[in-house]
A and B are shown apart, each in its own frame.
Chain A
Amino acid sequence: MFSIQTFLDAFVPLAWAARYTLLVSCLGIALGLVIGVVVCAMRLSGSRLARGIGALWVSFLRGVPLLVQLLLMFYLLPVIGIDVPPLVAAVVTVGICASAYISEIWRGAIGALPGGQTEAAQAIGMGPATIWRRIILPQAVVMSLPALVNELILLVKASSLVSVVGILELTRASQAQAATTFRPLEVYLAAACIYLAINLCLAALGRWLEHRMAI
């Protein structure tokens, strides 16, 4: 028998655990955006060394599962003498991993800009830094918004992986709840509802931003 009461009761503790889900994915994407710009600039730069490092960064982080990256980071940090709480390690790892995908999103958006955009700016004597800041980036941000929202939603779901370093986020909390109540179906259904609610909100936020920033 499906117990509505258990299902409803599960929401409060799970929603509380979901704060870690939100924290890890939102801070992760923020960090990923910043590192992503740097990696993207390296991949588009004139220096072969910078391009090479950027390409390595992207292929390693895309080629190794996030779960393995989290475990690597968790066991690597003490070895090199860095002592940080697991939550910090988790956010940094998620951010670094996201930066690989985000830098490719930026690169694609910048590559899709017509070459004439830059030429028109060069023709009036504008310098490269101003061209990036005033002409290229504003357009690239808008063009990459749908892909960035996509990435954020993927991160919300992937954040369940940070439970391996002992963070009690939404998925891990529902496992615990299911074990204590012996009502896995109700609990996991509640967890699914919370994930869905979070992601629908993020998608709506994305659509609103897209609409606001539409060119």
Chain B
Amino acid sequence: MTQAASVDMTRINKFYGPFQALRDVSLHIPPGKVTCLIGPSGSGKSTLLRCINFLERYDAGEIRIDGQLIGYDTPGGRLMSGRRLREMRRDIGMVFQQFNLWPHMTALQNVAEGLERVRGLPRAEAEAQARAALDKVGLGDKTANHPARLSGGQQQRVAIARAIAMQPRVMLFDEPTSALDPELVGEVLAVMKQLAAEGMTMVVVTHEMGFAAHVADRVAFMERGELVAAGTPAEIFANPRDERIRAFLHSYHERNAFEV
């Protein structure tokens, strides 16, 4: 695999008009590790994730992928050129809550498209690599299916294949299992665990506390645009010092516990 990259965010601020979505967020994402972003909805975790590949523009601060600033030529300077931004994005894979597969293409074409049009591989080579990526997520037999002919879990695995086929150095996951029926969550998490085991740098916004607790190396808790705490799963889940984390976990347990 290509060298896993680190992500360093320093004092990120983001405004939507007068509303401040991110407040001075600083977070180090170590290379080759899984970092989960958790917190209540509207806390800014997805916004922060989308700033990493600059799908969302941050207004102040710095985000560096392996030391290279993304989005701006210099900190606080001009926006970087579209070409340069696209070059950086090739190294950052992203998986979305709604999969965002292209419905007019087969699974194979979805994965091969970027290899052919962005990386410039000849079609045969692009398709061979796309096939390998689909094999890796367990969908080698579904290459000819259009997204509408795949289950939600299969669609999300195609989306993961589309991202990893580009051989990214970081993978961003934006609530990858939130749109799935409960019985389909497992197959997607299994693929993500396999990626983690291979040493991919992963940043995962999730409501799957089980995944965060068992797979993440680091967990960061956000609320109201602020990074409240970051630490090992044990530090965040077993004995959280902050009252806001305790309240969040308490309500999570209440929602998910049941007695017969």
Contacts and interface: CB of A to CB of B under 8 A. Distances in A.
B148 A215 contact: yes
A130 B82 CA distance: 13
Interface stretch (B63-71, B92-100, B180-188): B92-100
B199 interface: no
Interface in B82-104: 82-83, 86-90, 92-94, 96, 98, 100-104
B117 A134 contact: yes
Interface in B23-72: 53, 55
Count class of interface residues, chain A? 20 to 34
Contact of B94 (A114, A123, A130): A123
Given A119-B55, A215-B146, A215-B148, A125 B118 contact: yes
Interface stretch (A75-83, A135-143, A147-155): A135-143
A128 interface: yes
Contacts of A215: 103-104, 146, 148
A114 B98 contact: yes
B204 interface: no
A123 B104 contact: no
B11 to A, nearest CB: 25
Contact of B89 (A122, A128, A139, A142): A122
Given A135-B102, A142-B104, A123 B55 contact: yes
B81 to A, nearest CB: 11
A123 B102 contact: no
Interface in A98-147: 114, 116-117, 119-128, 130, 134-135, 138-139, 142
A121 B92 CA distance: 12
Contacts of A120: 94, 96, 100-102, 159, 162
B52 to A, nearest CB: 11
Contact of B86 (A114, A116, A117, A127): A127
A123 B53 contact: yes
Chain B facing A: main interface SS: mixed
A127 to B, nearest CB: 6
Given A120-B101, A126-B118, A139-B103, 20 more contacts: A116-B96, A116-B98, A120-B94, A120-B100, A120-B102, A123-B53, A124-B90, A124-B114, A124-B166, A125-B87, A125-B88, A127-B82, A130-B117, A130-B118, A134-B113, A134-B117, A138-B104, A139-B102, A215-B103, A215-B104
Interface of A: 114, 116-117, 119-128, 130, 134-135, 138-139, 142, 215
27 contacts: A114-B98, A116-B96, A116-B100, A119-B55, A119-B100, A120-B94, A120-B96, A120-B101, A120-B102, A120-B159, A120-B162, A122-B89, A123-B53, A123-B55, A123-B92, A123-B93, A124-B90, A124-B93, A124-B162, A124-B163, A125-B87, A126-B117, A126-B118, A134-B117, A135-B102, A139-B103, A215-B104
